[in-house]
Amino acid sequence: MSIFKRVKQDLVERRDRILSGNVNCIPWGLPRFESESPGIEKGKYYIITANSKVGKSQACDWFFMYHPYRLIKQQNLPIKLKIIYFSLEMSAEEKVRQLISNSLFLNSNFNTVRSPKVLRSTREALSEEILRDIDSQEDYITDFLEHVTFVDNVRNPYGIYNYMKKYAEENGTVHKKKVMYDGKENEVFDYYTPNDPEEYVIPIVDHASLLTPENNGSIKQAINMLSSKYFVLLRNYYNFSPVLIQQQSSAQESIENMKAGRLRPTMDGLGEDKTTQRDANVILGLFSPFRHAIPEYNGYDIKFFKDNIRFLEILGGREGGAGTVAPLYFNGAVNYFMELPKSDDHEKLQKVKQKIIQLRKNEQE
pLDDT of residue 283: 97
Domain contains 14: no
> Rg of the chain's alpha carbons, rounded to an integer?
22
Q: What is the pTM of this model?
A: 0.93
Q: Where would I find the beta strands (DSSP E) of 152-255?
A: 172-181, 184-194, 199-206, 243-247
Domain contains 218: yes
pLDDT of residue 258: 72
Residues of the chain with pLDDT under 50: none
| DSSP element (H, E) containing 168 | helix 157-170
Distance of alpha carbon 245 from alpha carbon 278, whole angstroms: 15
Domain contains 7: no
| Structural contact between residues 40 and 68, judged by C-beta atoms closer than 8 angstroms | yes
pLDDT of residue 183: 82
Q: Which residues touch 42 (CB under 8 Å, ≥6 apart)? A: 200, 239, 240, 241
Amino acid sitting at position 182: D
pLDDT in tens, 262-319: 789 999 999 999 999 999 999 999 999 999 999 999 999 999 999 999 999 999 988 8
pLDDT of residue 188: 92
Domain contains 309: yes
Domain contains 11: no
**Where residue 183 sits, what CATH number does that domain have?**
3.40.50.300
Strands 300-301 and 296-297: antiparallel
Domain contains 9: no
* Burial degree of 269 (CB within 10 A; 0-12, 13-18, 19+): buried
Residue 57, by phi and psi: left (phi above 0), alpha (psi -120 to 50) or beta?
alpha
pLDDT of residue 51: 93
Domain contains 241: yes
Number of compact structural domains in the chain: 1
Q: Which residues span the domain enclosing 99? A: 25-364
Domain contains 357: yes
pLDDT of residue 317: 85
pLDDT of residue 181: 82
